[in-house]
Each structure stands twice: as structure tokens, then as C-alpha cells.
Amino acid sequence: MIYRPYNPADFDNLYALEEVCFASPSRFSRRYMRLLVGRAHAATWIAEEAGQIVGFAIVDWTEDDNETAAYVQTVEVAIEARGQGVGRELLNRIEDSARLAEGRSIWLHVEEENAAAIRLYEAQGYRCEGREENYYPGGRAALIYVKRLGAEAAG
């Protein structure tokens, strides 16, 4: 497995995986996905095997009150590559990108019924710190997970 930063030539294959992983209306639009991967304050990591994209993750960050917080936009892994540590490694890569941007914390939304994703996030040190009703289409709720980054997180 090769893990590498996204480049614009990856877009069509990356979006094809988005279409496999998420059905409409939960799927990001092509336009919004292009916006995400093109942001100056963002990082997109690709997992590639035998020349095929089998996973990707996107993080972006903002500065508020002189503190940088990162947000996990998505972590997606092809069905055939799940359970092999791809999601965990992609999460590690985007966390490293957030740290390089001097992020102090990283957070995300996850559908409360997505047990596999919740297990991944909890195993990686994320803690549930809230819930948002009607976050996803169809009135589905999201749990809000947060992880502290940097030296203070290790102590």
C-alpha cells in the first residue's frame, strides 16, 4: 500500500470512490469535493494499491482565537480494502498534516449508527463530546468526536 498526498490528476478516481462509498444525498457533490481538495488550508491523502485509489481522507483547518482546529471532512476506504488498517493510516496522515499546520485539536462528525467508523476513531484516541440531531439527510444524528493534538495530548 502506498500513502501519498493528493494531486489534481487524482480527482476523477477519488470521486469515483466517493460515489461507491456514499449514496446520494449523503455524497459530496463533485463541485464541493473539488472545493475541499483545492483548499489552501487543507490536506488530502491517498491510499493506493496497484495503481488504484483504495482510500482517501481530507482534513481542513481554521484559526479561531489564535488556535488552529482541524476538521476531518471525510475518511473513505473501498469495501475490498476495509479491515486492513487503511483508514487508520489515512487518519494518522491527516492528523500529521493538522499538526504541521499547528493544529491543537481535530474533530469530526460521524453518523451514530456507523459502528465501524466509531471503533476506528475511539481506537485512535478520539472522544465523543457531543451529538447533533438531524445532521445527516433523513434526519440522522451525528456524534461529534474530538482529539487533542500536540505535546499536551501526549501528556
Mean model confidence pLDDT for the chain: 90
pLDDT at residue 1 tops 80: yes
Between residues 56 and 21, which one has the greater pLDDT? 56
Backbone angles phi, psi at 134, to 5 degrees: 55, 35
| Amino acid at the residue 41 | H
Q: How far is CA 112 from CA 74, 83, 106, 135, in A?
A: 15, 20, 18, 10
d(Cα 137, Cα 28) in Å, to the nearest integer? 12
> Residue 151 above 60 pLDDT?
no
Whether 33 and 15 have beta carbons less than 8 Å apart is answered as yes
**In degrees, to the nearest 5, what angle opens at C-alpha 72 toward C-alphas 93 and 61?**
90
> What CA–CA distance (Å, rounded) separates 23 from 149?
32
* Domain 2-154 top-level CATH class: alpha beta
| pLDDT score, position 47 | 97
134 falls in which pLDDT band (50, 70, 90)?
Answer: confident
Is residue 129 a contact partner of residue 122, using CB atoms and an 8 Å limit?
no
pLDDT tens digits, one per residue of 13-39: 999 998 888 767 677 888 999 999 999
Instruction: Judge if the upstream peptide bond of residue 25 is cis by omega within 30 degrees of 0.
Output: yes
Query: Averaged over 37-64, what is the pLDDT?
Result: 93
Specify the pLDDT at position 23: 67
The pLDDT score that the predictor gives to residue 118 is 94
